């Protein structure tokens, strides 16, 4: 038998795993979460619009965050003179597309609110029932079966006609999805826009800022691509994939953004 570790030794891996399990939603442990992901075929997910296995599937997976709804709804944001939506309690969060615009423009290959089974909650969701909580005006003139509820990804549905992003398997194994919003960031945004607040808001806003904020990687990348090409903002042949990504995160690059970035150089 190996000698017992001295009392001053650091905690052993089993103790660390116990803590991780205790921190998971509803007592969800790592073993159970991984079992659900494998049973649901999430480790066989392909990149949207392709037949290629998604190379960003974490195994072992990262557990979902613990979140809860905060009492007290906030008003729907108003659009400021800068064209951005202004949230009174989170002035740092400045998307410039409403949830309705994101869907009406053509996003997520038409699949975002498809029927899914969530590894996070262990429940199945019917997309048509899920979107019933949102205003009907959001979907006015939108072919729901093709642009919102489609079980298959079609890049031609997207505004820029390209495939981009990750699948549900990537989002879940990365620990990005909470039990409150099993469809992911955009579902969170729809509900946040309508006034719901939760303990997940700071994390989700930070994720938006990392890609779409003033110093966000996707905003900066599109600015750089346009500048290198000597192209104007409205030349949509430049940065089509990045433009589509920005749109999925409720943002479109503006002339002011491009001018400000040019000025930094």
pLDDT at 26: 59
pLDDT digit string (tens) for 18-29? 333 334 565 799
Whether this model's pTM surpasses 0.75: yes
Q: Is the pLDDT of residue 17 over 90?
A: no
pLDDT digit string (tens) for 109-138? 999 999 999 999 999 999 999 999 999 999
pLDDT at 209: 98
**66, 113, 91, 242 alpha-carbon torsion, rounded to 10°:** 110
pLDDT digit string (tens) for 215-248? 999 999 999 999 999 999 999 999 999 999 999 9
pLDDT band at 1 (very low <50, low <70, confident <90, very high): very low
The residues pairing with 237 across neighbouring beta strands, listed in sequence order, are none
Choice between 4 and 54, residue whose per-residue pLDDT is larger: 54
Tell me if 56 sits within 8 A of 170, measured CB to CB: yes
**Of the candidates 93, 63, 67, the residue with the CA atom closest to the CA atom of residue 80:** 93
Q: Which residues contact 199 (CB under 8 A, 6 or more apart)?
A: 66, 67, 68, 70
Ramachandran area for residue 106 (φ above 0: left; ψ -120 to 50: alpha; else beta): left
Percent over 90 (pLDDT), the chain: 88
Tell me if 168 sits within 8 A of 221, measured CB to CB: no
């Amino acid at each position: 038998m190996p000698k017992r570790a001295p009392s001053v030794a650091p905690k052993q891996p089993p103790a660390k795993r116990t803590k991780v399990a205790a921190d998971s939603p509803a007592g969800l442990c790592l073993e159970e979460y991984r079992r659900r992901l494998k049973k649901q075929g999430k480790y066989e997910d392909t990149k949207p619009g392709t037949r290629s296995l998604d190379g960003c599937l974490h195994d072992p997976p990262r557990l979902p965050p613990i979140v809860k709804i905060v009492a007290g709804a906030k008003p729907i944001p108003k659009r400021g003179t800068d064209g951005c939506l202004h949230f009174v309690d989170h002035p740092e969060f400045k998307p410039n597309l409403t949830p309705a615009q994101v869907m009406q423009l053509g996003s997520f290959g038409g699949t975002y609110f498809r029927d899914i089974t969530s590894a996070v909650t262990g429940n199945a969701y019917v997309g048509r029932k899920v979107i019933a909580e949102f205003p009907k005006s959001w979907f006015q003139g939108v072919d729901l079966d093709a642009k919102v509820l489609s079980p298959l990804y079609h890049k031609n549905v997207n505004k820029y006609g390209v495939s981009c992003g990750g699948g549900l398997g990537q989002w879940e194994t990365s620990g990005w999805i909470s039990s409150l919003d099993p469809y992911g960031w955009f579902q969170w945004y729809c509900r946040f826009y309508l006034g719901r607040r939760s303990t997940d808001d700071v994390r989700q806003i930070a994720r938006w800022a990392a890609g779409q904020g003033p110093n966000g990687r996707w905003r900066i990348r599109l600015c750089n691509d346009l500048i290198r090409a000597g192209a104007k903002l409205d030349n949509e042949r430049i940065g089509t994939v990045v433009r589509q990504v920005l749109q999925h995160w409720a943002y479109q690059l503006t002339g002011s953004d491009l001018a400000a970035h040019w000025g930094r150089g």
